[in-house]
Amino acid sequence: MNKNNSWILKRIMQHIKKYTFWVVLSFACAFVSVIATLYAPILTGDAINLIVKPGEVDFDGIREIIVKFLIVVGITALAQWIMSIINNRITYMVVKDIRIEAFNHLSDMPLSYIDSNAHGDIVSRIVTDIDQFADGLLMGFSQLFTGVVTIVGTLCFMLYLNVSIALVVVVLTPLSLFVAAFIAKRTYKLFRGQSESRGELTELVDEMIGEQKIVQAFGYEEDALERFAVINDKLEKDSMNATFYSSLVNPSTRFVNGLVYAAVGIIGAFAVLRGKLSVGRLTSFLSYANQYTKPFNEISNVITELQNAIACAGRVFELIDEPGEVSEPADARVLDKAKGEIVIDDVSFSYTEDKKLIEHLNLLVKPGMRVAIVGPTGCGKSTLINLLMRFYDVNAGSISVDGTDIRNMTRESLRDNYGMVLQETWLKTGTIRDNITYGKPDATDEEVIEAAKKAHSHSFIKRLPNGYDTVITEDGGNLSQGQKQLLCITRVMLLMPPMLILDEATSSIDTRTEIRIQKAFNKMMEGRTSFVVAHRLSTIKEADIILVMKDGNIIEKGSHEELLALNGFYSNLYNAQFAH
């Protein structure tokens, strides 16, 4: 067992340890099942010994043995049935715990991890890899316990019948384990590669489904098929190699087992001829030899299957072990109802060390101010929003709300005080009402309708087949981009938090609706600290202060009129948009 496998097995055992009672019960059932199974050949041998020759058959004795045999078979079946139920219970409780741990950790992971890793691969780890792990673990529980008890029990029975023949079996049988171990060491990397290829394929399929319109609009179908073919071929090769090497175990160990069986038959026959063993006992011994070697074969299969399970579990544990968000202080402040005073003090931030973005940024935002942020693509507008919401932590400097550094308050309470409407809409599978009340599940119908009217979404919602009870999918179904955006705006209208972030919030809405929405926003922003990121400069004329960003720095700031009077960067942007 290599070091890499050892830590994974240790983690798995920590999860299994919680269910020690069930493991002990399963082992007890395995013990009963095996002892009953091993007693059957003794009965068979006794029955054969009662058949001496024609006319000398003890039928009464055979009848008694048949009754005992049926009782033994019944006990075996019952024990195996109970053990199967218990093993399934242990497996799926362990898998459930690991999946919960992985999913919970995912929600605690920093946005930087989500942004820098393929979403399809993350999904594959939490869904497919855990399922593969479950299959291997179930096989392990089903066959490992029974196999070990069978080996020990059979050995005891064989030693009882004939020590010399039993020693021949003991000496030859471990060869199958050596063969299995030799192959298993080489299958781990192959199964690991198979799991990674599966993750890449999931990633590509997820990407194609999510962006199918873009794929078709830009004629990317052929390229997508080529990418799919390359990854699919790699998955085929990885799967074939892993399956090929792991499948060598069964015939190799069966060959060894055949040698053992033949050796027992030959040596046992000579023992019978010498009168040291009865024919019935030889029959029992042959049965034991077969039962003794069978668990080695099954355990060998379990070992190869566990290589796949361990490889998959390793990928899941790697995800779980990824560092989560920076822990909150024990005395972190819970921000109740924020006044909305925000101070950005000498803040520097970059996503990567080699590429600087925001450097030495300073800003004072008083409660109730409307702050507009404009600038070219990549200047740091959305980055500043990420820092305000603490999706990312600053590299240097500090951001405080109402006099408290946001690193010293709970993330949940900070984010509860912000309402966000982003350019990219996000909806979940459910009814229109479910999507609007996402942040306030206990909202009344009156509150929902009032928010929808303010956001100008009520009219189109009423035209849907089932109104507010219309079920939509996560991509919004047949709703237009503008309608999806209106639902996201309605969601914020319902909450009415003390601070707002509007990141291109009206970019997908027609001009007529935008004017109406802008009026609703103006009313919603009254008395609330608001940050508005916009490309259409006509929507930010009412802002108290406009920040003009370029290369992560604020190069101009002031009201709309003041910035126009400067005749600088903002003025050029504004005039370029309205040039005739």
- Calpha distance 384→533 (Å, rounded): 10
pLDDT recorded at residue 192: 76
Q: In the block, which residue shows the tokens 């009882």?
A: 160
pLDDT recorded at residue 400: 92
Tell me if 215 sits within 8 A of 224, measured CB to CB: yes
Give 10-residue mean pLDDT values along the chain (580 residues). Answer: 66 86 87 82 77 70 86 90 88 87 83 75 83 78 74 79 77 72 72 79 76 68 82 84 76 76 78 75 75 70 74 85 80 86 89 81 88 81 85 89 90 87 80 88 90 86 89 75 82 87 72 71 80 75 84 83 86 70
Its sign, for the CA torsion 404, 408, 410, 415, is positive
Amino acid in the structure at residue 421 = V
Q: In the block, which residue shows the tokens 């019935």?
A: 280
Rounded to 10 deg, the angle between the 174-210 and 279-321 helix axes is 40
pLDDT recorded at residue 558: 86
Task: Please spell the DSSP secondary structure of 524-551, one letter per residue.
Answer: HTTTSEEEEE-SSGGGGTT-SEEEEEET
pLDDT recorded at residue 2: 46
pLDDT recorded at residue 3: 44
The helix/strand/coil state of 355 is: strand
pLDDT recorded at residue 74: 92
In 355-395, DSSP assigns E strands to: 358-365, 370-374
pLDDT recorded at residue 288: 73
Going along the chain from its start, the domains and CATH numbers come out as 88-321 (1.20.1560.10), 342-577 (3.40.50.300)
The helix/strand/coil state of 391 is: coil
Its sign, for the CA torsion 125, 127, 128, 133, is positive
Per the rule left: phi > 0, alpha: psi between -120 and 50, beta: everything else, 351 is alpha
The H or E element that residue 401 is part of is strand 396-401
Nearest residue to 373 via CA among 537, 578, 551: 537
Using the CB atoms, write b or e for 52-74: b if 16+ within 10 Å.
Answer: eeeeeeeeeebeebeebbeebee
The tokens describing 191, both together, are 């199964």
